Amino acid sequence: MSTVVEIMIVLAVLSLCWIIWQLKKAKQFNQFKQLLAKDIKKQVINHIYANLESTRNNIYPNNEIHQTATIEFWTSYKVRVLQAALIHEIIDEQWLKSTGNWRNSQHLFHIEHAHMAQTIERIDYKQKKNEIT
């Protein structure tokens, strides 16, 4: 009887340790999302403004409406903020790894994949060419 109780105690302790570990990981993930929402988002917005201002011409007027729409698009989901930061090299893979956010970024890409922006890098032009012909 005491062996069964000891096994149950060990299982309970292991379960508790696993739950604490999951809580710690969830807390780190939430801190990463807060970092994206506060700091990285500001940098992305500043970069978008600067980029649209520098590429303004007759074909692409990039007026206030364009700026507002572009910022709304890229900042509406945290995964898009992360995408924009990576595309515009505000952050890079090395930064994600050195800050311990590599796994958090991968998790964010996984859970918000439906909201990711379709960028040129993701379009398979060979497939598109075959569809046209």
Instruction: Give domain limits for the chain.
Output: 27-132
pLDDT one digit per residue (tens) for the chain, 133 residues: 689 999 999 999 999 999 999 999 999 999 999 999 999 999 999 999 999 999 998 888 899 999 999 999 999 999 999 999 999 999 999 999 999 999 999 999 999 999 999 876 544 544 544 455 4
Q: What SS3 class is residue 58? A: coil
pTM: 0.80
Between CA 51 and CA 67 the distance in angstroms is: 10
Q: Which amino acid is at 92?
A: D
Q: Which DSSP category does 40 fall into?
A: I
Tokens of 13: 């302790």
Between CA 103 and CA 92 the distance in angstroms is: 14
Q: So what's the pLDDT on residue 128?
A: 47
Phi, psi of 23 (to 5 degrees): -65, -40
CB 77 within 8 A of CB 36: no
Q: So what's the pLDDT on residue 131?
A: 53
**CA gyration radius for the chain?**
22
CB 44 within 8 A of CB 85: yes
CB 88 within 8 A of CB 45: no
Between CA 80 and CA 90 the distance in angstroms is: 13
The CA-CA-CA angle for residues 57, 60, 64, to 5°, reads 100
